[in-house]
Structure 1
Amino acid sequence: MIKKDIFIGAFVGLLANTIGLILVATLLGKGDDFVTVIQAAAKEGFLGKLISLGAVLNLIAFFIFIKKRKDYRARGVLLITIFIAVFTFVFKLF
């Protein structure tokens, strides 16, 4: 049961981050489509910043799970957020 809740939380965190990335790319893309914005961000070196901004929606999911006392699901969201932070740090280095 615990592993299932952590997996559900991780899935929700990954989904929230993906939706957040799409929203940020759409809002900051100035009318360009998603793929064009991502390609331009990778070329100009700020793709990691877009991914980090997309992770802001994980805060909402995390606090919803905490409020509903779904601690293991909140732990899954937190694990994905930490993974994304490490990924963007490594991505920034290379």
Structure 2
Amino acid sequence: MGIKILKGFILGLLANATGTFLYVYFFSDKQFEYVVEKGIEQGFMGSLIGLGALLNVLLFFFFLTGRIGKFRKPVQPYEARGVIMATILAAFVVLYFEF
């Protein structure tokens, strides 16, 4: 049980980081490192992390849905709990950067 929650937590962190990277990649013409530096400097890093957390919603429902198209899989509630924990951690990080 603990390993499953840890798996969901790590996947949630990776989804958040991937979402942040994809947002910067598609909606900015600058390099990722430059945007992160300016985000910390100018105070919009929390917003970037918050937008990156949108992928956690998809991951959460992926774990809780038993059917994806014609493919059936078992519901994975412990992994979904780990994703929620990663989302809560992202919320605290956003609070840190915003205030």
Q: TM-score, length-normalised on structure 1?
A: 0.91
Partner in structure 2 of residue 14 of structure 1: 13
Partner in structure 2 of residue 80 of structure 1: 86
User: Whose helix fraction is larger, Structure 1's or Structure 2's?
Assistant: 1
Aligned equivalents of 1:32, 1:90: Cα separation in 2: 25
RMSD (CA atoms): 1.0
Stretches of structure 1 lacking an aligned partner (at least 5 in a row): none
Offset, 1:91: 2.2
Establish whether residue 54 from structure 1 lines up as the match of residue 52 from structure 2.
yes
Contact 1:6 1:76 in 2 (8 A): yes
Offset, 1:28: 2.4
Aligned equivalents of 1:86, 1:40: Cα separation in 2: 20
Alignment deviations for residues 37-72 of structure 1 (CA, whole Å, 9 cap, x no partner)? 111122221110000000000001000000141000
Partner in structure 1 of residue 42 of structure 2: 44
- Count of equivalent residues: 91
Runs of 4+ in 1 over 4 A off after TM superposition: none
- Structure number with bigger Rg: 2
Contact 1:8 1:76 in 2 (8 A): yes
Contact 1:5 1:72 in 2 (8 A): yes
User: Whose strand fraction is larger, Structure 1's or Structure 2's?
Assistant: 2
Aligned equivalents of 1:22, 1:90: Cα separation in 2: 20
1:71 pairs, out of 62, 68, 77, with: 77
Contact 2:12 2:59 in 1 (8 A): yes
